[in-house]
Amino acid sequence: GKMIHKLDGHLNPIRAIAFSSDDGVLATGDSGGAIRLWRVSDGQLLKNIEGHTDAVLALTFDGNGRLVTVSRDGTIRLWGVK
């Protein structure tokens, strides 16, 4: 395969990824609690989301413009990302 994009922006190892329902956005979460949203078509960083105080363990889009994240800090968070 051929690399399409290299997505740089996390300071800690990435622990979770999810594509939006339309595959237009990729969400990534790292071991420090940071979340990044990327435009898939060109690899552009769209948004930095901060809030968790420990590793993001899982994330998913709900299909209604929201991102759900689970962290080792013991919280589940719902983010409006549209």
Q: What local confidence, expressed as pLDDT, does residue 63 receive?
A: 83
pLDDT tens digits, one per residue of 10-46:
999 999 999 998 889 999 999 999 999 999 999 999 9
Residue 5 has pLDDT above 80, yes or no: yes
The CA–CA distances, whole Å, from 30 to 2, 34, 40, 63, 64 equal 25, 6, 18, 22, 23
Q: What local confidence, expressed as pLDDT, does residue 64 receive?
A: 87
Q: What local confidence, expressed as pLDDT, does residue 21 receive?
A: 86
Q: What local confidence, expressed as pLDDT, does residue 81 receive?
A: 86
Question: Are the beta carbons of 18 and 26 closer than 8 angstroms?
Answer: yes
Q: What local confidence, expressed as pLDDT, does residue 69 receive?
A: 98
